[in-house]
Amino acid sequence: MLSCMNQKDMSIIQRTNINTDALLINQTDSNSELEVTNNGNVVRLINTTEKGLSRSRNKAIMSAHGEICLLCDDDEILVDNYEAIITNAFDSIREADIIAFKIARKGKKYWNRIKSVNRFSSLRISSVQIAFKRDSIVRKGVKFNEQFGAGSNYPFGEENLFLIECLKNGLKIFFFPSEIGTVKQESSSWFKGYDECYFYHRGIVTAVCLGRITAVCYGVYFMLSKRRKFENSIGLTKGLLCLMRGVFDSRRISKGMLK
């Protein structure tokens, strides 16, 4: 299930090395659907005027036909045998509803063993790592929070909130230490550097995921463990203050006061 924007054709299938059935959610200026066959695989394209990554993910979940679904972005390149890797992982971990895999990207470190994922470890997972049994997600009614993600008020963290909701609904999440693709190190639609806005939104996401009290403790740990990445830009003290402001402002989300 690939989320993209303003695609004029299906060449993105070749660019991302998709070699299975696929569903493309293309956010553009019109609404239409198209289905084609690519090397024996069925590729469906849904053009929609809806905006926002989480809306795209939710539309994909509800429109998908596959038993196991993989989240993809347009800046990802999958390995040739990703289907076999994913199928083998679900066969190996029968109780898994969701499995996160390795995606090669600069500076990203992964566990080197199969690992059960909890609330805290779910914060380390990005959406392009995630494959899931569609029936488990639909049966529990879990959706991406459309207030979060690229194209929304809060530009990241949607996958973490999604995984937290899965855990709250009793779904089992695991990490499987096999690489299924790589992400191109190019410009991001939401990440503009470690600035005040980034840490403020990081505080909001952490608080919504963990609760405000736990988020304060985790926020301090996050800032100390990641300080080398941003100490030459915003600095530890200022970054921490912005993060804490986000933590305490998060209580206003449910009241519809944050914009």
pLDDT exceeds cutoff 60 at 255? no
Question: 216-246 b/e with 16+ CB inside 10 Å = b?
Answer: bebbeebbeeeeeebeeebeeeebbbbbbeb
Q: Which residue type, as a one-letter code, is found at position 195?
A: D
Q: What is the pLDDT of residue 258?
A: 47
Within a domain: residue 258? no
**Averaged pLDDT, 33-45:** 94
Give the pLDDT score at 187.
54
Domain at 127, CATH number: 3.90.550.10
Whole-number CA gyration radius for the chain: 18
Return mean pLDDT, the chain.
93
**Which residue, of 183, 205, 226, is where some domain finishes?**
183
Within a domain: 256:
no
What DSSP string describes the chain?
-EEEES-SSSTHHHHTT--S-EEEEEESSS-EEEEEEETTEEEEEEEE---SHHHHHHHHHHH---SEEE-EETTEEE-TTHHHHHHHHHHH-TT-SEEEEEEE-TT----SS-EE--HHHHTT--GGGEEEEHHHHHHHT----TTBSTTSSB-S-HHHHHHHHHHHTT--EEEEEEEEEEE-----SS---SSHHHHHHHHHHHHHHH-HHHHHHHHHHHHHHTHHHHTTTT-HHHHHHHHHHHHHHGGGTTTT---
Same domain, 55 and 166: yes
Residue finishing a domain among 154, 183, 212: 183
The confidence score (pLDDT) of residue 72 equals: 96
Which range of residues forms the domain containing residue 216? 196-251
pLDDT of 148-206, one tens digit each?
999 998 999 999 999 999 999 999 999 999 999 999 865 566 677 889 999 999 999 99
As a whole number of angstroms, the distance between CA 107 and CA 125 comes to 14
Same structural domain, 177 and 201: no
Same domain, 84 and 20: yes
| Residues 29, 154: Cα–Cα separation, whole Å | 23
pLDDT of the residue at 256: 47
Are 109 and 204 part of one and the same domain?
Answer: no
In a domain, 234, yes or no: yes
Do both 156 and 223 map to the same domain? no
Is residue 229 in a domain?
A: yes
Highest-confidence range of 69-73, 186-190, 222-226, by mean pLDDT?
69-73
